[in-house]
Homo-oligomer: A and B are copies of this chain.
Amino acid sequence: MTTHDAIRQQHSRGEDTSTPTLPDGVAFVETTAEVSEILKLCHQHGVPVTPFGAGTSLEGHVNPVRAGISLDLSRMTGILEVNAEDMDGLVEPGVTRQQLNEYLRDQGLFFPVDPGSVCTIGGMCATRASGTNAVRYGTIRENVLGLEVVLADGRVIQTGGRTRKAANGYDLTRLFIGSEGTLGVITKVRLRLHGIPEATSAAVCQFPTLADAVNSVITTMQLGIPVARIELLDEVQMAACIAYSKLEGYAAAPTLFLEFHGTEAGVAEQAESVQAITADYNGSGFAWARDAETRNKLWKARHDAYWACIAARPGSRGIATDVCVPISRLAEALLGAKQDIEESGLMAPIVGHVGDGNFHTVILVEEGNPAAMDAAWELDKKIVRRALDLGGTCSGEHGIGLGKREFLEAEHGMEAIAVMRSLKAAMDPRGILNPGKMFRN
Task: Please give the residue numbers on chain A whose beta carbons come within 8 Å of chain B beta carbons, in ascending order.
Answer: 83, 85-88, 127-130, 134, 138-139, 141-142, 151, 155-159, 161-172, 174-175, 177-179, 183, 194-195, 218, 222-224, 263, 265-266, 269, 322, 324-328, 356-358, 391-400, 404, 407-408, 411-413, 415-420, 422-423, 425-427, 438
Contact = CB atoms under 8 A, between A and B. Distances in A.
B265 A85 contact: no
A128 B160 CA distance: 14
A322 B395 CA distance: 37
B163 A325 contact: yes
Given A86-B328, A269-B266, A327-B85, A169 B164 contact: no
Given A166-B324, A170-B420, A423-B427, 16 more contacts: A142-B142, A156-B415, A159-B412, A162-B391, A162-B392, A164-B327, A165-B324, A165-B358, A166-B395, A168-B395, A168-B404, A168-B407, A168-B408, A172-B416, A175-B175, A195-B223
Query: Which 6 residue pairs spanning A and B have beta carbons closest together?
Result: A174-B174, A426-B426, A85-B328, A128-B167, A86-B326, A166-B393
B416 A327 contact: no
A323 to B, nearest CB: 9
A170 B162 contact: no
Given A142-B138, A165-B139, A172 B328 contact: no
A327 B397 contact: no
Contacts of A420: 169-170, 172
Contact of A224 (B83, B165, B195, B418): B195
A391 to B, nearest CB: 4
Task: State how many copies of this chain the complex holds.
Answer: 2
A415 B151 CA distance: 10
Contacts of A141: 165, 171, 174
Contacts of A400: 167-169
Contact of A419 (B172, B222, B422): B172
24 contacts: A85-B218, A86-B326, A128-B166, A130-B167, A139-B165, A151-B415, A151-B419, A157-B412, A157-B419, A163-B356, A163-B358, A165-B356, A165-B396, A167-B396, A167-B398, A168-B394, A168-B404, A169-B412, A169-B438, A171-B177, A171-B178, A195-B224, A263-B269, A422-B427
B83 A326 contact: yes
A212 to B, nearest CB: 18
Contacts of A398: 167
Nearest to A388: B161
Nearest to A325: B163
B165 A328 contact: no
Contacts of A168: 393-395, 399-400, 404, 407-408, 411-412
Most-contacted residue by chain B among A165, A263, A393, A423 (CB, 10 A): A165
A412 B394 CA distance: 34
Nearest to A408: B169
B134 A165 contact: yes
B194 A224 contact: yes
B175 A170 contact: yes
A170 B423 contact: yes
A157 B326 contact: no
A158 B413 contact: yes
A132 to B, nearest CB: 12
